[in-house]
Amino acid sequence: MGVLERKQRQKEEVRNSILTAAWSIIQTEGWQAISIRKIADAIEYSVPVIYNHFESKEAIMLEFVKEGFRQLRDHIQAQLSDEDRSCQQLEIAGKAYWQFAFANQATYQLMFGMGLPPCERARQVPEIQSFSAMLVSLIQKVIDHSKQPDTNAFLKFHTFWSILHGLVSIQMINRSATPDELSELVLEDAIYGFIKALAV
């Protein structure tokens, strides 16, 4: 292995150590407890070493936001089948979103806590764009089979996302809470109502 390759590998190892330490702090103390100093102490490096890899703690948080949206998109896509009708696909996507949120609460709360960038910046994050494009595409399929082909799919995407995130957030107010039968019924009713209005 050449000198350049070795340096690159060492750089990647330090970067991964930083992310691993940051995630450990998030899981034990919450994302609000993250600081560059705390991460440096955890991996026994100086603060400037951390700044050589990430310009700020927000940059570290953004890495987890990106990974969260990658995982969310992949989880939803894994549940979908080309054999399902467009309405069924959107229903499956909504329920998969819910499942992901509660199976990965720390990740989800970080994605929509301090880590989620403002709307303008979010448009520049490929992982968020990819997730959004997937849901817009599913919604567009329902619209294409409806009697309202001029419906704005992007607007409906924001409505659908707001419904899902709102229901998840209400449930997560009590951090120890897990979805019960009533909250599952509310989710199904909300998704069914959205799809029914969209498919008319």
User: What is the average pLDDT across 6-30?
Assistant: 92
Q: Is the pLDDT of residue 115 over 50?
A: no
- The whole-angstrom separation of Cα 76 and Cα 93 is 6
Q: Is the pLDDT of residue 116 over 60?
A: no
Residue 109: pLDDT band with limits 50, 70, 90? confident
Give the residue from 55, 75, 96 where a domain finishes: 55
The CATH code of the domain that includes 7 is 1.10.10.60
Number of domains in the chain: 2
User: Same structural domain for residues 195 and 118?
Assistant: yes
User: Same structural domain for residues 150 and 172?
Assistant: yes
User: Same structural domain for residues 195 and 145?
Assistant: yes
The residue among 31 and 102 whose pLDDT is bigger is 102
Residue 92: pLDDT band with limits 50, 70, 90? very high
The residue range of the domain holding 47 is 1-55
Q: Extract the tokens encoding 37.
A: 């100093």
pTM of the full predicted structure? Answer: 0.87
Q: Is the pLDDT of residue 12 over 80?
A: yes
The CATH code of the domain that includes 69 is 1.10.357.10
Length of the chain in residues, anyone? 200
- The answer to whether the beta carbons of residues 68 and 110 sit under 8 Å apart is yes
User: Same structural domain for residues 111 and 32?
Assistant: no
Lowest mean pLDDT among 62-76, 104-118, 146-160: 104-118
Closest among 181, 77, 199 to 134, alpha carbons compared: 77
Kindly report, residue by residue over 156-176, the tens digit of the pLDDT. 999 999 999 999 999 888 655
Pinpoint the alpha helices (H) of the chain. Answer: 3-29, 36-43, 47-53, 57-79, 86-103, 105-111, 119-122, 126-144, 153-172, 181-199
Lowest mean pLDDT among 14-23, 114-123, 160-169: 114-123
User: Same structural domain for residues 136 and 120?
Assistant: yes
Share of the chain above pLDDT 90, in %: 70
The pLDDT value recorded for residue 139 is: 98
The pLDDT value recorded for residue 125 is: 87
Q: Is the pLDDT of residue 67 over 80?
A: yes
Residue 186: pLDDT band with limits 50, 70, 90? very high
User: Same structural domain for residues 42 and 87?
Assistant: no
User: Same structural domain for residues 32 and 72?
Assistant: no
